């Protein structure tokens, strides 16, 4: 997993609407990357729904939330609509998991991203990173707020 103090690897991925989104687009702002395994799994649905509920509080702290998984933009759009969320979801689809690998979040044996949170500072350096012990449990909102407070 990527460590605090390291430069955040730049990337360009397609979002749920097929639009290109680059990390460089957010330079000068803080970004929380939320790596998660798959759209539509029960645990991922709970995780993204919870983060959507607290997203206004995260944004009040000057942080933009971006979800990242290996699913396609089409799956992301359907997932976003099913959950009723407006969080930008980025498709780490082809080459599969390239961004997840760059951040140390990819699980080769399962072909998916692990549940990893990476807070990137306005200067483009990693401020904080957290990885769930298993893909079956997601970090609660308190983990994010604790990181933002420190």
**pLDDT tens per residue across span 20-78:** 999 999 999 999 999 999 999 999 999 999 999 999 999 999 999 999 999 999 999 99
Beta strands in 16-95 (DSSP E): 20-22, 30-35, 63-69, 88-91
- What is the token pair recorded at 4? 């605090």
Whole-number pLDDT of residue 1: 92
- Please report whether residue 4 resides in a domain: no
- Please report whether residue 1 resides in a domain: no
Q: Which domain holds residue 18?
A: 12-149
* pTM of the predicted structure, to 2 decimals: 0.96
Whole-number pLDDT of residue 83: 97
CA terminus-to-terminus distance, the chain: 20
Q: Is the pLDDT of residue 135 over 90?
A: no
User: 85 an active-site residue?
Assistant: no
Rounded to 5°, the CA angle 96-54-125 comes to 50
Q: Is the pLDDT of residue 121 over 90?
A: yes
- Please report whether residue 53 resides in a domain: yes
pLDDT band of 134, cuts 50, 70, 90: confident
- Please report whether residue 17 resides in a domain: yes
pLDDT band of 111, cuts 50, 70, 90: very high
Whole-number pLDDT of residue 150: 83
Whole-number pLDDT of residue 15: 98
**In percent, how much of the chain has pLDDT > 90?**
96
- Please report whether residue 103 resides in a domain: yes
Q: Which of 8, 44, 85, 126 is catalytic?
A: 44
- Please report whether residue 41 resides in a domain: yes
Instruction: Please state, rounded to an integer, the average pLDDT across all residues of the chain.
Output: 96
Domain count of the fold of the chain: 1
CATH code (residue 63): 3.40.30.10
- Please report whether residue 2 resides in a domain: no
Contact 93, 107 (CB under 8 A): no
pLDDT band of 138, cuts 50, 70, 90: very high
Distances (CA, A) of 137 to 37, 106, 108, 115, 140: 11, 16, 18, 8, 9
- What is the token pair recorded at 118? 């990476």
């Amino acid at each position: 997993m990527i460590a605090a103090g390291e430069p955040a690897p730049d990337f360009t991925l397609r979002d749920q609407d097929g639009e290109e989104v680059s990390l460089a687009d957010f330079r000068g702002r803080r970004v929380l990357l939320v790596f998660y395994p798959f759209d539509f799994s029960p645990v991922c649905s709970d995780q993204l729904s919870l983060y959507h509920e607290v997203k206004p509080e995260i944004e009040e702290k000057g942080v933009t939330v971006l979800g990242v998984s290996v699913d396609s933009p089409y799956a992301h759009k359907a997932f976003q609509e099913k959950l009723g969320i407006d969080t930008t979801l980025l498709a780490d689809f082809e080459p599969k998991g390239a961004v997840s690998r760059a951040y140390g979040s990819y699980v080769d044996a399962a072909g998916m991203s692990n549940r990893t949170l990476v807070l990137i500072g306005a200067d483009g350096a990693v401020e904080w990173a957290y990885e769930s012990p298993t893909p079956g449990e997601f970090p609660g909102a308190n983990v994010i707020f604790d990181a933002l407070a420190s």
